Amino acid sequence: MSSSFPPLRDELRGIEPYGAPQLSHEAAPVQLNVNENPYGPSPAAAADIARAVGEAAVSLNRYPDREFVELRGALTAYLNTSGGSGITPDMVWAANGSNEVMLQLLQAFGGPGRVALSFAPTYSMYPEYARDTLTEWVAGHRADDFSLDLDAARELVLERRPSVVLLPSPNNPTGTALPPEAVTMLCEAAASYEPGGIVVVDEAYGEFRRAGTPSALELLGEHRNLVVTRTMSKAFALAGARLGYLAADPAICDAIRVVRLPYHLSAVTQATALAALRHAEELLGRVDDLRVERDATVVWLREQGHEVADSDANFVLFGRFADRHAVWQGLVDRGVLIRETGPDGWLRVSIGTADEMAAFRAALIDTMETHD
Ligand code: PMP
């Protein structure tokens, strides 16, 4: 057999698939590593989802509604209560997680000879979407406090003329939200050259933002090139269902239709998401608790003498450790799995239940004592 088997694209050779280590619950009973919502659906919501899936099951010989009309209507209604107004169903698109939504955006608007741009440190899947769509990847830099230097960001956009700007707000792994001025400035910059770029504000963690930080959904009427992505994986506590979505100009949704695979949203997914949206109030009901727990975690970590990034998300980035891997391992040894990610020296902890956060605090104190 030739040593080049399988005949993979050269740039993919030797690359590890993306993903956080998944340890069993026996190995790490406290799992605070992938920014999940620690609260599962109530028995009533789970029963309703099961019933909806059961109803869909009798027609699984047929392809699903390719245009997911009912789901699109329900997502539109939700967005208009969650920071948006005047959003219509032709402005909404959905796919299997916001990861797929963003890959589709790169498939439609990126490609050879085109540039996708973001500002590091940021979500590590972005360069992968660029790689997989043969789009050139350009990463500017965030300031020391992880905010964006707006003038430098604008200059980089004008210089590199990206087709797609990816702006997570709140950012992963830092938790930093963007002020509306930043979105406006970058939408204007990306509209100032030919053929222009789209600006994707990735609000995967949007529902967790602190009071006073508006959603970019408010700016949709002002910028045709603005796309706001959301997900049901985080605030909605539905990561296992794989449902992400966006709001944008209808012409952008139409463009995605060209690259999406036919029937990409299964009947089971559509039924699950629709049932979950009927229980939105309950599923989102824990967001406030998680915010309180997040703010308390930031305060506690600072009291312990750690450096902590301000967070508008359901996770907190803290450091700095001379040997972060040793601290991560110390926590795993005590049954607490967090994430070794972000700039060197930092670690990220997702916000869990009050009991899980107590276990995290105890494990971190114990680990730090051992390492002192
Ligand atoms: N954007 C950001 C910033 C994320 O952190 C994540 C998940 N970790 C996603 C998008 C994708 O989430 P999903 O595909 O589950 O919607």
- The residue to which tokens 């967001």 are assigned: 287
Each residue's pLDDT tens digit, 234-289: 999 999 999 999 999 999 999 999 999 999 999 999 999 999 999 999 989 899 99
**Pocket of ligand 1, candidates 125, 167, 176: which has the most ligand atoms within 8 Å of its Cβ, to mutate?**
125
Cβ of 233 less than 6 Å from ligand 1: yes
Query: Do 230 and 291 belong to one domain?
Result: no
Query: Do 107 and 152 belong to one domain?
Result: yes
Please give the pLDDT value at position 372.
Answer: 60
Q: What pLDDT band is residue 298 in, cutting at 50, 70 and 90?
A: very high
Q: What pLDDT band is residue 2 in, cutting at 50, 70 and 90?
A: low
Domain boundary residue among 279, 297, 327? 279
CATH number of the domain within which 305 lies: 3.90.1150.10
DSSP per-residue letters across 144-160 = TTS---HHHHHHHHHHH
Q: How far apart are CA 31 and CA 129, in angstroms?
A: 27
Judge contact between 168 and 204, C-beta under 8 A.
yes
Q: How far apart are CA 127 and CA 199, in angstroms?
A: 16
Question: What is the total count of domains within the chain?
Answer: 2
Cβ of 231 less than 6 Å from ligand 1: yes
Is residue 6 one of the residues assigned to a domain?
no
Is residue 5 one of the residues assigned to a domain?
no
Q: How large is the ipTM?
A: 0.99
Query: Do 152 and 204 belong to one domain?
Result: yes
Is residue 347 one of the residues assigned to a domain?
yes
Domain boundary residue among 222, 248, 279? 279
Give the range among 8-17, 131-140, 197-206, 213-222 with minimum mean pLDDT. 8-17
Query: Do 308 and 358 belong to one domain?
Result: yes
Query: Do 274 and 300 belong to one domain?
Result: no
Query: Do 170 and 300 belong to one domain?
Result: no
Range of the domain at 261: 44-279
Is residue 1 one of the residues assigned to a domain?
no
Percent over 90 (pLDDT), the chain: 92
Each residue's pLDDT tens digit, 209-219: 999 889 999 99
Query: Do 322 and 336 belong to one domain?
Result: yes
What is the pLDDT averaged over residues 60-76? 98
The protein residue whose alpha carbon is closest to atom 6 in ligand 1 is 204
Q: In this model, does residue 341 exceed pLDDT 60?
A: yes
Is residue 4 one of the residues assigned to a domain?
no
Query: Do 245 and 113 belong to one domain?
Result: yes
Domain boundary residue among 264, 279, 294? 279
Rounded to whole angstroms, the maximal C-alpha distance in the chain is: 62
Please give the pLDDT value at position 213.
Answer: 87
- The residues, any chain, with a CB within 8 Å of residue 99's CB and separated by 6 or more, are 125, 244
Please give the pLDDT value at position 356.
Answer: 98
Query: Do 256 and 302 belong to one domain?
Result: no
* Phi-psi group of 161: left, alpha or beta (phi > 0 → left; psi -120 to 50 → alpha; rest → beta): left
Cβ of 202 less than 6 Å from ligand 1: yes
Is residue 23 one of the residues assigned to a domain?
yes
Q: In this model, does residue 148 exceed pLDDT 70?
A: yes
Q: How far apart are CA 337 and CA 30, in angstroms?
A: 6
Is residue 54 one of the residues assigned to a domain?
yes
- The residues, any chain, with a CB within 8 Å of residue 199's CB and separated by 6 or more, are 165, 167, 183, 186, 187, 190, 223, 225, 226, 227
CATH number of the domain within which 158 lies: 3.40.640.10
From ligand 1's centre to the CA of 354, what distance in Å?
24
- Give the phi and the psi of residue 227 in degrees, each rounded to 5: -125, 130
Q: What pLDDT band is residue 182 in, cutting at 50, 70 and 90?
A: very high
Q: How far apart are CA 214 and CA 191, in angstroms?
A: 22
Each residue's pLDDT tens digit, 69-114: 999 999 999 999 999 999 999 999 999 999 999 999 999 999 999 9
Please give the pLDDT value at position 363.
Answer: 98
Q: How far apart are CA 171 and CA 237, in angstroms?
A: 19
Query: Do 184 and 292 belong to one domain?
Result: no
Query: Do 67 and 185 belong to one domain?
Result: yes
Beta strands in 20-66 (DSSP E): 30-31
Q: In this model, does residue 1 exceed pLDDT 90?
A: no
Show the tokens assigned to 228: 């706001």
Q: How far apart are CA 308 and CA 38, in angstroms?
A: 22
Each residue's pLDDT tens digit, 299-314: 999 999 999 999 999 9
Number of the ligand 1 atom closest to the C-alpha atom of 34: 8
Query: Do 266 and 328 belong to one domain?
Result: no
